Amino acid sequence: MEKLEIRKMKVEDIPWAAAVEKENFSAPWKEDSFLEALEKKENIYLIALIDGQRAGYIGMWTVLDEGEITQVSVRKEYQGMHIGRSLMEALEEEGRKAGVASFFLEVRKSNAAAIHLYESCGFLYQGIRKNFYENPREDGILMHKDLETVQGT
């Protein structure tokens, strides 16, 4: 892999992130959704760059000691380069610094690659949200990771 850098998302990254949402998701976030999320200081949004070019992003809302991962997305030409894993690891570290003890996410039942990534990052199956997604209608799998359990503290 070329030079990977992960940094906090900036307002000027939002149009790019919204375009990647359209590429990768059937119900993409719009620019105003990213802006609203980015304006809340407790939320954490990161961008991965390969040789200075934006390659992927990840976002998390935090409430008290819980973090809900809202997106993990990598541009198609950068997929398979472990950028998603690097973003997950960086987000976990940023969350840990912010006092997050448990992470949650949901993923389309058919998204085997994402499920594999989350499992390999220590996320466990928690349940199903029936018919959670649209276009097409599909169940969402709920997953979680408890840092205390993982660290043994």
Q: For position 1, what pLDDT does the model report?
A: 54
Residue 106 falls in the annotated catalytic set: yes
> Domain range for residue 116?
4-151
pLDDT in tens, 71-100: 999 999 999 899 999 999 999 999 999 999
pTM assigned to the model? 0.89
Average pLDDT of the residues in 11-37:
90
Query: Which band of pLDDT confidence, cut at 50, 70 and 90, is reported for residue 26?
Result: confident
Among residues 21, 92, 94, 106, the one annotated as catalytic is: 106
Among residues 68, 118, 119, 134, the one annotated as catalytic is: 118
Query: Which band of pLDDT confidence, cut at 50, 70 and 90, is reported for residue 56?
Result: very high
Total tally of structural domains belonging to the chain: 1
Contact indicator for 140, 129 with CB cutoff of 8 Å:
yes
CATH of the domain at 47: 3.40.630.30
Average pLDDT of the residues in 125-131:
91
In angstroms, rounded to a whole number, what is the distance separating the alpha carbons of residues 149 and 126?
15
